[in-house]
Structure formats: C-alpha cells, structure tokens
Structure 1
Amino acid sequence: MQGVVRKLTKFTSHRQLSVLGFRSYFTDRVVVDIGQPTSASHPQLLKDGELTPGISTEEYTLRRRKLLELLPEKSLAIIAAAPIKMMTDVVPYTFRQDADYLYITGCQQPGGVAVLGHDCGLCMFMPEAKPYDVIWQGQIAGVDAALDTFKADKAYPMRKLHEILPDMIRGSSKLFHNVQTATRAYMDLEAFKKLAYCNNVGDLSVYTHQLRWIKSPAELKLMKESASIACQALLSTMLHSKAYPFEGMLAAKVEYECKVRGAQRMGFNPVVGGGPNGSVIHYSRKDQTIKHGDLVLMDIGCELHGYVSDLTRTWPPSGSFSSAQEELYELILETNKHCVKLCKPGASIQQIHNHSVEMLQKGFKEIGILRDGGSSSYNKLNPTSIGHYLGMDIHDCSMVSFDCPLKPGVVITIEPGVYIPSSFNGPERYRGTGIRIEDEVLITETGYEVLTASIPKEVKHIETLLNNFCQGNNLRATSS
C-alpha cells in the first residue's frame, strides 16, 4: 500500500493525499466506490447532482417531503430494501431493488432499512461490509454513503437497528411499512409487534403508489428512453424472425438488442409464443419452432435505470397474414387504436376497458367466434384487462384503482387481445391463434402521447417490412 501511495504522490505532489482504511483518496477530488454508480465514479451515466441516472438528489429529497405530507401525524414509515434471492446455495439471482425503497432513498443495494418520520427525517440502517464479502462481491454502501450520497439525516449500521428503532417506534402512534419486502429484522421487535397487535400497522404502498402514479419530467424522460430501446429491439427482432423462426432465438435476440442499447435488464421474462403458444397469455417456455404461416406474439419490455417499458406486437414471420389471421388482427388493431384515442385526463382504465369489451364482443360475434354475449364466453377469448399502470414496476402502482380518473403524467398500457386455443369449439380457421397489440400511452394535459408509436402495427406496414427489409433476405444474399 505504501508503494502505491508513493507512486501516486509522484504524480500529484501539488495535492494533499490522505489514506483512509484500505483506500487512497484525494481530498479535492474524492472518487469512492460505494457499490453503485455515482457522478464521480461513472460520469458516463450520471451528471453532477444526480443520485441515480436521470434523477437528481433534489428530486429524491422532494419525494420524501411529499411522502411525509401524506403520512398521518406521529406516524413512522419503515421501508426495507429487497432481499437477495438465491438460485442455489451460493448463486444468487440477479438483484432488483424494491421500487418503493429505490424511489425514496436512491439506494440500489440490498441489506438496508430506511425509516422516515416527521421528527427523525430519513434515517437509514446500512449493512456493514465484511472483508470476505468485499473480496467476493465488491464494496457496498455503508453509513458514510447514507449520509453523504443518499443525504440521510441519520444513519447507523444494521447491527444498531434493534437498539435504536424500538424507541422510534414507541414514539409513534401509527406505523407503515412496505409489506412485500418486510423483514424479520424489524418485525420481530417487541415495539413493532405491539403496534401490529393494536392494528396500528399499515401498508406503506397506499401512500407511495399515490406519489409514484404521476411521473415527474425526469421520470418521463427515462420512460421514453426505455420505450425507445424496447421498440428498436423488437423491430430488429421482427426483421430477424424470417430467417430464425424459433421462439428461444427470438427471445435471446430481443434481450441482446435491449441490453446492447443500454437497458440493465428485461422488465420481465419475454413472452414469445408461436402459433397456438400465442394463445397462452403469459407463455414462458420458448422451446418451439414457429411453423411457416403461424403468427408469433411477442410481449417484451426492458428496464432502464429503474423504469420499465412494456409492448406487444404480433406478426407472421413468413411475411404474410392469412385471411383468417388478418380478420382477427384488424379487429384487435381497431380496438387498440380506438382505446388509445380514449386516453385523456378524466378517463379511467376501467372506462376504457368497458369500451374495449363492447368493441370486441361485437367483433367476435360478427366473425362467428362468440355465440352469445355472456361474460363467461367472452372471458374465454380474452380474460385480460385493456391495460395497467406502468412505471418503476410493470404492473405499477397496484394500490391505485383502475376507476381512478387519469391525470397528466400517468403512463398506462393499451393491450387488447384474443386468445383462441387449439381446442376451441368454433370455426377451425381461427383455432390456435393468439393476437395482442400493446402500446404505452402517456396521459398529457390535452390528451395522450403514444410512447411506442415508432414500431409498426398496421398489416400493410408489417408485411412490407418483413418482405422488403427482413434480415433473412440480406443473410441469404450475402451467402449466395
């Protein structure tokens, strides 16, 4: 270590050098690894003043202030980080932070508990890095990062939680926590149990989802970028599908295209269903060849710095829709376009859904695949909602009702579909067909903006794309 310091000092004799622990720091330009990107360590990702890419430290402070305004007096919010989930005894699954914890703190790492209260402000209990863990997993954010980077008002190591948190709880008449990531570290405390026994413990997401529902300009910028990446990735995959009509290959292709454009991960396990598999709404196996003449349904989304995208397109890799496929497709497309036009402030997802059911029921009857108007028969063809909220999670802000009037800054999906299994008791030409067309829609002051408008969905556009610009044609021309 001394040798390293001497070498550094040779080139920086005009700077004061201090050595702390096992690391060297310049006092006028400190670059510290806290286990996640900062503007100092990753200037290619974060600008000065940003806590996470695209989101400023000030915005995180404002979020906490708004949450405190929503919380009742003398109440306390406890927000746990997501736990590490193990694939095997020593191999973890890829970590993804709990959306509420990330939204409030900006901390992207596991192992912490944040406490927010009117008296204490933001208090963070942070894990302590053990030398063994640092060797295997790298640095993690500790108490210093909580104070300096995440701007906590107070911070303690996790081993102090059982000493400090009980007094904070006892000084509160009501407690809220994120139920989905609740941890025994605080739930086993006697003070917590006492409030829970008196029914004074509630779900914090009632309040955090209210805040997360309407996106800030910075959040919308990230969501638009995430949607753009997903659109480019899916378009490239569509062009790839004629030469490589295999569910697994198309899934791998779209994931590669998302990540090479900057996405950290997929928003969910992509749905890639060829032929009858497209009628399975969340089909996940991706182990079949797509037969010539079959449609492929792809539902994909990626995550960019905490914000996700979600879109679906259905197309024939062969380059041409059959007459039966086109008939069904046009009905779904018209429903999609009609419902998108209904998106505006004051409307609700439930209202838009009701319109979609009316359109689809009428269309299914005319085509001959719905013999009666009962909901049971209709639900066998389409048991899904017309859409959902979108943001930090794919099905975002679940505590906000679909009856709630939409407001500017809310992002939803519009995704009508039809799912006809091979065993369907109806016209044979429609059996084994799944079609969904899904777009992301931002509610604006005057109406809506389709964030996924760049990817084709008209029949003639899709067929022209596949037959004139397909990569398969280029591949064959190159090899000939």
Structure 2
Amino acid sequence: MISFKNRLFLHLGINLTKNFCTKAARNKVKCDLSSKKTLGQPTQYTHPHLIGENEVTPLIKKEEYQNRRQKLVESISEYALKCNAPSKSHMIIIPSANKQFMSDKIPYIFRQNSDFLYLTGCQEPNTCVVITTSKSPSGHRTTLFTRDKDSHAELWDGPRTHPEDAPDFFGVDQSLPISELPNFINSFRKSSSVVNLWYDLESNVSTETSNIVRDYLKECGNKHFESPRNFIHKLRLYKSTAEIALMQKSCDIASKAIAETMEYSRPGIGENQLFAKVDYECRARGAEFLAYPPVVAGGSRATIIHYINNNQLVYGNEMVLMDAGCEYHGYASDITRTWPVNGKFTNCQKEIYQIVLEVQKELINLCSKLPTLDMLFECMCLLLGRKLQEIGLVGVQPSDSYIMKAAYQLCPHHVSHYLGMDVHDTSSISRNIKIEPGMVITIEPGIYISEKSKIPKDYHGIGVRIEDDILITVNGPVVLSRRCPKEIDDIEAIASRGAKN
C-alpha cells in the first residue's frame, strides 16, 4: 500500500525514485505545498474564479507590485539626492489599516489602506511593510510584517498569512511577525548611522505603528524625516493596463446597477429602496461594496450636494439624483445620473438637464487638449453661465467674470477630481497640473436651484448632476462609464418602464 506521504508526492507530480529527496525535489514539494495553503486572503488555490496564475490580487501580478516598490524607492532616492540628504540609507514605513469595531466584538467592514494595498497587494489588517535601502535604490529590501500566529483568533476570524508563506506569495524579500516591528526598526537604525525615515504621521492610519515611529524619533532624535505620501500618489496617478481593466469593470458594474435602479423607480418609491437596489445590483455583479455612501436625492433634496440621508419618498413629477459607485477589487467608480421618477421630464426639468448634458459633453471633448482640472472647472462655469443666459435664467451681461460667478452660485462644487483606488484619489496631487495619458478623472457639472433662489419659481427645487469617469489616453478621452444611459430619450424610456409597473 502506498503511504500517504508517497501519494502526496504522486499528486504533486514528483518522481518517486531513490533520488526523490534531492534538494530540488524538496524545494518543489515546499513550493507546491505553499501554493496550496489557505492564506489570509484569496489565492489562486482558494479563489480560482478571481485570482489567476502569479496574481496577488485580481489581474495584478506579483511583478507589478514589485515594480511599484522599485519606482517608489527610485523617486524617493532621486529626491533625497537633489536635496543633499545626509545619507543614502532610507527606511520607508507604510502601515495597513487596522480593524475597527462598532461595538464590543462587532467589527466594521474592513477596508485596506490604499497606499499599503498599492505597494503590497496585502488585504489583511494590522500589518505593515518596511522598505529599506543602504547604498542604491536597486539594492532595496522589502520586509512584510504579518499578524502574529494566533490559533484561537484564526478559529474565530479565519486564517492569517504567516511569515513563512508571505515572501513567495507577495514577492517580498522577507516576512516577520508584526510584534517584531519595533525591534526591526531599531536594528536598522543601529546598522546605519544616519537614516532618512519616511512615514506619514499626519494620516495616522495605524495608531500602533505611529506610536512606534514616534518612539523611534524621540529616542534617536532623527531630523531626517518626511512623508512618502506624495511620492506614492504620483505613482498611483497613472494607471497600469491591469488597473484600467479593473476600473472599467467597476464602471461597468455601477453603470448597469444604476440603469437597473432607474427602471426600478416609480412615483411614491422610497429613497432607501433605491439605495438598496443599487447596492444589491453592484454586489450581485461582483463588487465588494459601494465606494462611498451614495446620494439618493428625490425632488428638492437634489439641491443638497451631499445629501445622504436617503429616507424620503419620491413623488409625481419629481426627479431622482443618484450619485453612486462601487469598489471592485480595490478600484472605485463614481457615477451620477438624474432622472424623472415617472419617466417623463417636465419642460423645466428637461431644459436644465439638457444644459448640464451639453456642458458635460463639451468638457469631455476638451480633455483631448490635456487641460488642468482647474481649467475644466473655469470652463464649466463659463459654459453653464452662457447657456443659462440663453434661456433667461442669468442676467444679460457680457462680462465673463459675471457669467462665471452667476454659474458658480448654481454649481458650487468643482467639476472634476482624480479617480482610482479612492473616490477622491491621490488627494495630495494638485488639480492645477495638466492631465496626462494614464490618468482617470471625473467630469461632473451640475445645476442646483434651491427654493430660496431668485430664479423663477417654476425652476425651484430642480437639481441635476451628470457625472462620468474618464480615462485620458493619447488618442483622446475614453468614457469608462459610457454604458450608463444619460441621453434624454434613453432615460425616459428606461424610467417609464418602472413607472408603469
């Protein structure tokens, strides 16, 4: 009878000869066994429908994460050289998010720190990555600190990735338990007389890690300390092929979900029902959760820019303004649509909607000229103002300054932001730089006429916003959210189907 051990070797395809215990064979066994372990996040073994060969997270391979870390080290080293930093030794510390609790042992849904996820692909809480260099950027070393082994915790919360499994899966140089982080930091300091420390104390993603860094700074009096946040954001600003594919999928899911919600809507429906519908449709198509608390604003509540109470009913001739997006394997979509709940725009609603739609299309076309986001905002104000003048809702004055100020009163928010792993992505990047191929932005003009407005009462309570997600390419802008209907005829046709039910 073949022993269990030999059957295992046969299953792994290892030749059972007298030489099967050679070093190469033993390494193959070790590698094959490791690939079939259950780790603290999806792998190709546990989730073959999500994770492909050599991928750490869906569509993103181990090598891409390694390249990101290499680029970060190179950009930081180059900056330090220009600034005449006293040392070529760098220590970059990026913590994961920690698990947060709503009460006692009841946790909130966990969402990873985007910068940490971008550099590692690790989706587990209470972890940390430390990247160290001594002489040159090419000689950097990545150490991933994983949660300590705890059989009791794993019984309740599921498996963790242990240090012996992390290097092969994540493509890091070594892994240690998180409890070793203070000793590791102090040991590196002792091995290098002067160290440039990179850590974002302001964001305070992890209180525990921040306290360790503060103790380190206090003990050694290290004055060579900066945040790596802006360097990471500059990398995140430009999306790779894999990231673009993930963002396209995120937009496809949200687009279909919003279209389904349009069709589901009808007079007398609750905003909470529309919220639940779009949430369900996104999750049913593979999204982990909504990317942010959605705006589901019926009637005059659409004039409240960040209305998220979503607890009123929508009646008769009112419109619904829905601002919603989903998160798909770490990448967000952000789409806004406005539609009549009974399937038919009133004349005033249609007039305002048509203006916003025309302005949005002009701004999207303008992206081919690679303006700044602030330039797009100024163009939005001017275009909205002129079109509102044409229908008599803004006073007739030739001054562009007057027109733009009048439009800003009716659209008091920016027209664009960067989009990616976060909804308002790479927040440290100025909106006053020219957009470039590889970036993803939103275009979201709106008009909000409150009941206190001096505009004729027929328009009071009308709030319209149309938002799409735009990939900038060398061949012009690509609308990632193009599958979400926004033409008047299409919207009326979809919404009227629900109103008839």
Q: Same fold, TM exceeding 0.5? A: yes
Alignment identity in percent?
Answer: 35
* Aligned twin of 1:388: 417
1:202-235 C-alpha deviation (Å, 9 max, x unpaired): 2211100111101000110111011111111111
Q: What amino acid does structure 2 have at the position aligned with 1:224? A: Q
- Distance of 1:337 and 1:224 partners within structure 2: 20
Q: What amino acid does structure 1 have at the position aligned with 2:160? A: I
Kept in 1: contact 2:317–2:342 (CA 8 A) = yes
Change (3 A) 1:361 1:11: same
- Distance of 1:8 and 1:337 partners within structure 2: 66
Deviation at 1:460, TM superposition (A): 1.9
Change (3 A) 1:184 1:249: same
Q: Of the candidates 351, 368, 373, which is equivalent to residue 344 of structure 1?
A: 368
Report the more deviating stretch, 266-275 or 128-137.
128-137
- Distance of 2:405 and 2:364 partners within structure 1: 26
* Aligned twin of 1:96: 111
* Aligned twin of 2:292: 268
Deviation at 1:279, TM superposition (A): 1.0
Kept in 2: contact 1:169–1:192 (CA 8 A) = no
SS in 1 for 2:442: strand
Kept in 1: contact 2:410–2:447 (CA 8 A) = yes
Q: What amino acid does structure 2 have at the position aligned with 1:173? A: V
Q: Of the candidates 62, 71, 78, which is equivalent to residue 93 of structure 2?
A: 78
Q: What amino acid does structure 1 have at the position aligned with 2:434? A: P
- Distance of 1:428 and 1:413 partners within structure 2: 31
Change (3 A) 1:169 1:385: farther
Q: Of the candidates 426, 440, 448, which is equivalent to residue 469 of structure 2?
A: 440
1:100-133 C-alpha deviation (Å, 9 max, x unpaired): 1001011001011111122451112221132221
1:159 matched to 2:174: no
Report the more deviating stretch, 354-363 or 115-124.
115-124
Kept in 2: contact 1:418–1:434 (CA 8 A) = yes
Q: What amino acid does structure 1 have at the position aligned with 2:112? A: Q
- Report 1:77-476 matches (<5 A): 77-119=92-134, 120-169=140-189, 171=192, 172-178=194-200, 179-180=202-203, 181-189=205-213, 192-194=216-218, 200-242=224-266, 245-344=269-368, 346-371=370-395, 373=402, 378-467=407-496, 470-471=497-498, 473=500, 476=501
SS in 2 for 1:71: helix
Report the more deviating stretch, 228-237 or 159-168.
159-168
1:142-175 C-alpha deviation (Å, 9 max, x unpaired): 2123222112212211121121112324635322
- Distance of 2:149 and 2:127 partners within structure 1: 12
| Structure 2: 5+ residue stretches without partners | 15-28, 78-87, 135-139
- Distance of 2:346 and 2:352 partners within structure 1: 10
Q: How many residues were matched structurally?
A: 460
Deviation at 1:194, TM superposition (A): 4.1
Q: What amino acid does structure 2 have at the position aligned with 1:130? A: D
1:36-72 C-alpha deviation (Å, 9 max, x unpaired): 0011211111111111011011111111111111113
Report the more deviating stretch, 442-451 or 115-124.
115-124
SS in 2 for 1:115: strand
Deviation at 1:437, TM superposition (A): 0.2
Kept in 2: contact 1:251–1:270 (CA 8 A) = yes
* Aligned twin of 1:43: 48
Q: What amino acid does structure 2 have at the position aligned with 1:414? A: I
- Distance of 1:376 and 1:173 partners within structure 2: 51
* Aligned twin of 2:17: none
SS in 1 for 2:297: strand
SS in 2 for 1:193: helix
Kept in 2: contact 1:246–1:289 (CA 8 A) = yes
Change (3 A) 1:325 1:403: same
- Report 1:1-80 matches (<5 A): 14-15=10-11, 28-29=32-33, 30-72=35-77, 73-80=88-95
- Distance of 2:104 and 2:394 partners within structure 1: 51
- Distance of 1:215 and 1:13 partners within structure 2: 42
- Distance of 1:74 and 1:384 partners within structure 2: 44
Q: What amino acid does structure 1 have at the position aligned with 2:476? A: G
1:61-85 C-alpha deviation (Å, 9 max, x unpaired): 1111111111134222110001212
Q: What amino acid does structure 2 have at the position aligned with 1:460? A: D
SS in 1 for 2:380: helix
Deviation at 1:374, TM superposition (A): 7.3
